[in-house]
Amino acid sequence: MALTPYAQALGIEIDHDEAGEPVLRVDYSNRVAGRPGFLHGGAMSGLMEMAGFAALQAELTRRGESMRLKPVNIQVEFMRGGTEQVTFAKGSVTRAGRRVALVNAEAWQDDRSKPIALAQIKVLLIPAE
Amino acid sequence: MSEKPPSILPPGTRFDPSLAARMMTRHGHGGWLGIQYHAHGEDWVELKLPWREDLVGIDGGVGGMGVLASGPIISLMDNATSMSVWTKSGSFVPHATLDLRVDYMRAATPGQTVIGRGECYKLTRTISFIRGVAHDGDPADPVAHVIGTFMATHGPYL
């Protein structure tokens, strides 16, 4: 799976695969910094959005479907300030029908049981060709 | 919670959005994205995000060729709405984003600068309610709408 220019420029990488769903990571750097010492909320959101799209793309590939993905909306809940360390994110497909998909994503740092943010993403599926 | 930008302004200082935005958009994530000050009013702030090739999303996927990814738009709106809160409050009050919802109306036009207008429509002692619109030239044909809340973390807004 190829990450977008935005994801690559920000330093987002695929860390590993977890039961068919990619886990994304971004190392802490000035590029993702908000207030001194903390991760920017927009960078967290971008990471979770990419994780959501990656999980959806993986699911569609498993089904043998070729779709264009158009984001409809994203709702992000921030629960903790992200600190100066590596951040992970993983998406999970809640429901992918023929026309629309609902994907959840979570972001965490050193303690997976304490996510720093959650996201719900709605995506329109448009058959390619 | 998503912690907010610089404590370069001591709490209590009268908040000047044009001055503060110029300082706050130089560093960190906003600086990397190239976010700049555009305009402000009593309870709103406009920031702009010039198009850049390395901020593009999935080719043929998330919008198509050359379309700005949605992540940078979230960041633009997070920053613009955050500053609108300090503008309405009149002072720099450290706060954190509690939630943010972004509705994407359409893909941003490749090559176009995106302007994000954040507005604080209600302040309570500890919670601020914000909304915003992003467009790429015509405010009547927006790219995205946002709504969300922030919480004052180190003392009240009012």
Q: Do A45 and B71 touch (CB under 8 A)?
A: yes
Tokens of B23: 């300082």
Are the C-beta atoms of residues B53 and B68 closer than 8 Å to each other? no
Please give the backbone phi and psi of residue B117, each rounded to the nearest 5 degrees, phi first: -110, 115
For residue B71, list chain A residues with Cβ-Cβ distance below 8 A: 6-7, 10, 42-43, 45-47, 49-50
Q: Which of B155, B156, B98 is nearest to B124 (CA)?
A: B156
Amino acid at A57: Q
- State the nearest Cα–Cα gap between A18 and chain B, in angstroms: 22
Q: What is the pLDDT of residues B94-115, one digit of tens each?
A: 999 999 999 999 999 999 999 9
**Residue B3: predicted pLDDT:** 54
Q: Does B58 touch chain A (CB under 8 A)?
A: yes
Q: What is the pLDDT of residues A61-87, one digit of tens each?
A: 999 999 988 999 999 999 999 999 999
**Residue entry with tokens 């490749």:** B110
pLDDT of residue A112 exceeding 70:
yes
**Residue A126: predicted pLDDT:** 93
Q: What is the pLDDT of residues A3-50, one digit of tens each?
A: 899 999 999 999 999 998 999 999 999 999 998 889 999 999 999 999
Helix/strand/coil for A52:
helix
| Residue B146 parent element (H or E) | strand B144-152
- State the nearest Cα–Cα gap between A19 and chain B, in angstroms: 24
pLDDT of residue B6 exceeding 90:
no
Chain B residue with Cα closest to A54:
B58
Q: Domain span at residue A69?
A: 5-127
Q: What is the pLDDT of residues B111-151, one digit of tens each?
A: 999 999 999 999 999 999 999 999 999 999 999 999 999 99
- The total number of structural domains that make up chain A: 1
Q: What is the CATH number of the domain that holds A15?
A: 3.10.129.10
The pTM for the full model equals 0.93
Other CB atoms within a 10 A radius of the CB of residue B99 amount to 19
* % of chain B at pLDDT higher than 90: 74
Interstrand relation of B2-3 and A100-108 (parallel, antiparallel or unpaired): unpaired
- State the nearest Cα–Cα gap between B45 and chain A, in angstroms: 17
pLDDT of residue A56 exceeding 50:
yes
Structural domains present in chain B: 17-152 (3.10.129.10)
**Residue B21: predicted pLDDT:** 86
pLDDT of residue B64 exceeding 80:
no
